[in-house]
Amino acid sequence: MDFGRHPRPHRPTPLGLGGRHFAHITNSSGVIAVLNEGTDVTFSSFQNIGEEITINEANDRLTIEHPGNYFIIYSVNTTTETTLSTRLLVNRRPVDATTITPVISRTQYNNQIILPLETGDTISLQLFGIVGLATLATGAGATLTIYKIH
């Protein structure tokens, strides 16, 4: 019996093409010497990276291998309150819309953005704005996640 139902049209997943355009990387409890002008976070604790994104040898920069719009999420969790600042860099240049510059001390920094990226563009997470040590929390001390959405 047909009750007037029709098959749903196929819709592509919002997370990209076949799951190849993604990366999730983590630094689990590292100590980072932060320089006022900026220090890139390294991500050697955990890496789950699809075929269309690569990470450099220093584990601090992802490279996009396929152009499109990418949803990027980062978090930084420290063990003690601090007024350090966080931001994403694209091709070594700060993305202002991703910058968190607190006026009071905090332990959690989280941000997300959708950016158009080209083949060869690089993404890194940077701590800056203080001179001192930032001790990352155990587990998800710092994370960076990227999904291609279009």
Give me the domains of the chain, ranges plus CATH numbers: 22-148 (2.60.120.40)
56, 63 Cβ separation under 8 angstroms: yes
Contacts (Cβ under 8 Å, ≥6 apart) of 63: 53, 54, 55, 56, 120, 121, 122, 123
Least confident among 5-19, 53-67, 81-95, 134-148: 5-19
150 pLDDT band (50/70/90 cuts)? confident
Least confident among 14-23, 24-33, 100-109: 14-23
Residue 63 to residue 53: CA distance in whole angstroms: 6
* Cα-only R_g, the chain: 18
Residue 150 to residue 12: CA distance in whole angstroms: 10
Residue 65 to residue 133: CA distance in whole angstroms: 33
Q: pLDDT tens for residues 38-94?
A: 999 999 889 999 889 999 999 999 999 999 999 999 999 999 999 999 999 999 999
Residue 130 to residue 33: CA distance in whole angstroms: 10
| pLDDT computed for residue 117 by the predictor | 97
Give the other-Cβ count within 10 Å of 54's Cβ. Answer: 14
Residue reference for tokens 């152009």: 67
Residue 67 to residue 108: CA distance in whole angstroms: 31
